[in-house]
Amino acid sequence: MSSEPVKPNHRGAQAALAIGALGVVFGDIGTSPLYALRECFAHLPPVARSEGIVGALSLVFWALAFEVNFKYLLFVTRADNRGEGGIFALLALSHPDRARRGLTRLTLFVLFGAALLYGDGVITPAISVLGAAEGLESFNPAFHPYVPFIACVILCGLFWFQHRGTKAIGAIFGPAMVVWFSVLGGLGLLHIFQAPEVLWALNPLHGVRLLLHHPAHAVGVLGAVVLVITGAEALYADMGHFGRTYIAKAWYYCAFPGLILNYFGQGAYALAHPEDPTNPFFALVPGGAPRLMLTALSIGAAVIASQAMISGTYSLTRQAIQLGYFPRLQISHTNPDLSGQIYLPLVNTLLAVGSILVVVGFRSSANLAAAYGIAVTGTMAVTTVAFYFVVRRRWQWSIWRALPLCLLFLVFDLSLFGSNLPKLLHGGFFPIVMGLGVLAVMHTWKKGKEEIFRQVYANEITEAELCSIACSGHITRVRGTGVFMAGNPTGTPLVLLHHVKANKVLHETVVLLSIITEELPYVAAADRLEIREIGNGVWRALGRYGYMESPDVSVLIEEIRARGVPLKPSEATYYFNREMIITGGDAPMWEWQKHFYGFLSRNARQARDYYRLPPMQIIEVGLPIQL
């Protein structure tokens, strides 16, 4: 069912993977104690304080245990695509028999789940940094009007730093989060001794009674409980970096006990100090210098959580580009040793503007919590549906085995999602609107590309006919190499036909090069390149890449030369089609989509830059296409 990455033999390397997982995977869920329990207590029904707090803690404990321990770690993380996880891994695994199917309903549904993650990428930095900065208020109330400004300054610095990459600071993320979870657990344990009755919350009946006896308040309580599981999706999305085994170890040995002890400690403090209005998280330490130190540590943890989410959004965007669901964007590799460390300037700018506007608009983590749950629970529900198709189609489970399990997951996910629907008018619309906007980009780009592919390659010249053209007496063969980029790996690119028709010449060596993105995270070096001689100095080359990789045609050309094709990379000329979109055709797209696709096409990164080719060796030929 899964293919776990190769396990390192050295215990130190194993520990490093587990510690590294703490810094990357659990940053988001690890900062939830800053605001989650405060929101839970704010929505409690008018009952005895002990009954309400113990009931809320019971819901918190079992939400974490069910969603993370049971659903994700026990089941979903087993559905890996060559060791990689995430929403696009599920999309690839859900239809193994048709790796390149079009925009089906399932595909659109999964794409919407991916689009919701962009809303999460905007909200997570905002709420994490804002929640941490609010600790200054508990240190000195005079900080209250300045907290949003301080949060914006921190976010500006965080997003500005992205272009430098995380190589220098990435090594401290894991150890810093070890300290964070240790402090969480230690502070919580100290206060549990003061009110050990909170341990009754381990009995799930206390949470169930709270919901059943007070149905009018159940929606508000559940909507707040969602905040403790934000970031659970990262366990699956980041699986390829560390492996399922080490993510599980990091969770069970450090993150989970630290979180539970802290939540129970906050509950114990709230029971022992019913009149204290301070955020129960920051109230775990005395005022003055200790609280200031906890605030500084919280800001550091929030920055790490934000960094992990930002990097995850970059990775998600690259996957979407490679699979053809997103226009080409500039991708910078910030670490030559790790291909996963990338930087996308446009995505970074949009995330920065979005996060800062969110802080300015909502001004407090309590207000922002209203917008948070919908994106998280919506993505979790999409994951469950996609997981069902994986276990049915890939694992060949019977419907009687797959359906009850996935229905159990879906009932839990939809209950939490439904509890957040009342938040729509209080900020919950934000991630939905943002998700729909991203989905519109994905759908329009994919649909437009499919239509262009249909038009451009509807009447192709066969390879036999190309050979006849190459040896025709009307065509002059000139020295050098012409590399013609071919979208279809079986036909003749139009750019070659236009070139021959206009210039009546053809290079001595002609390479028809197609870049293929497989629905696999990585392609092995042995399978990267396929070369076949067509005849008369014409060769066909197929370069295969995974959706977690960025193509580099310059490197590919060197490999083609090494395989025996007579060419000099420094003297090769690369030919591309340059799409010129004209609306008014009969393409099965809405009119606004045709105009929108034209806009995206004009502003997408040029192929020569995306494929990392020398600009002085490129010729682009205009190709008018009517949609």
Segment 417-445, tens digit of pLDDT: 988 888 887 777 888 888 899 999 999 99
CB 377, CB 336: distance < 8 Å: no
Per-residue pLDDT band for 338 (boundaries 50, 70, 90) equals low
Per-residue pLDDT band for 625 (boundaries 50, 70, 90) equals confident
Residue-wise pLDDT tens digits, 149-160: 999 999 999 898
**Which alpha helices (DSSP H) does 193-275 contain, by range?**
204-213, 215-225, 233-237, 239-242, 244-250, 256-272
**Half-sphere exposure in the Cβ direction for 578 (13 Å, CA):** 12
Distances (CA, A) of 174 to 24, 355, 557: 7, 24, 39
Per-residue pLDDT band for 571 (boundaries 50, 70, 90) equals confident
What per-residue confidence (pLDDT) applies to 339?
57
What per-residue confidence (pLDDT) applies to 280?
92
Per-residue pLDDT band for 228 (boundaries 50, 70, 90) equals very high
Quick one: tokens of 422?
A: 């009342």
Residue-wise pLDDT tens digits, 286-313: 988 899 999 999 999 998 888 888 888 8
* CATH code given to domain 13-448: 1.20.1740
Per-residue pLDDT band for 94 (boundaries 50, 70, 90) equals confident
Summary mean pLDDT of the chain: 86
Residue-wise pLDDT tens digits, 19-45: 878 888 888 899 999 999 998 998 888
The dihedral sign for the CA sequence 31, 218, 114, 78:
positive
Per-residue pLDDT band for 102 (boundaries 50, 70, 90) equals low
Most confident segment among 54-68, 172-186, 336-350: 54-68
What per-residue confidence (pLDDT) applies to 411?
95
CB 147, CB 134: distance < 8 Å: yes
Question: 63 pLDDT exceeds 90?
Answer: yes
Query: What 3-state class would DSSP assign to 427?
Result: coil
CA distance linking residue 441 with residue 626, whole number of Å: 19
Q: What is the pTM of this model?
A: 0.86
Q: Which residue has the higher pLDDT, 383 or 428?
A: 383
What per-residue confidence (pLDDT) applies to 217?
86
Q: Which residues contact 110 (CB under 8 A, 6 or more apart)?
A: 87, 90, 91, 94, 382, 385, 386
Closest CA to 614 of 561, 563, 573: 573
Question: 168 pLDDT exceeds 70?
Answer: no
For the chain, give every domain's residue range: 13-448, 457-626
CA 354 to chain centre: 16
What per-residue confidence (pLDDT) applies to 4?
44
Per-residue pLDDT band for 198 (boundaries 50, 70, 90) equals very high
Distances (CA, A) of 158 to 20, 144, 298, 314: 20, 22, 15, 15
**Using CA atoms in the order 615, 616, 617, 621, what is the torsion angle rounded to 10 degrees?**
70
Tokens 């750019």, located at residue: 495
CB 323, CB 547: distance < 8 Å: yes
CA distance linking residue 573 with residue 596, whole number of Å: 32
Letter for the amino acid at 286? Answer: P
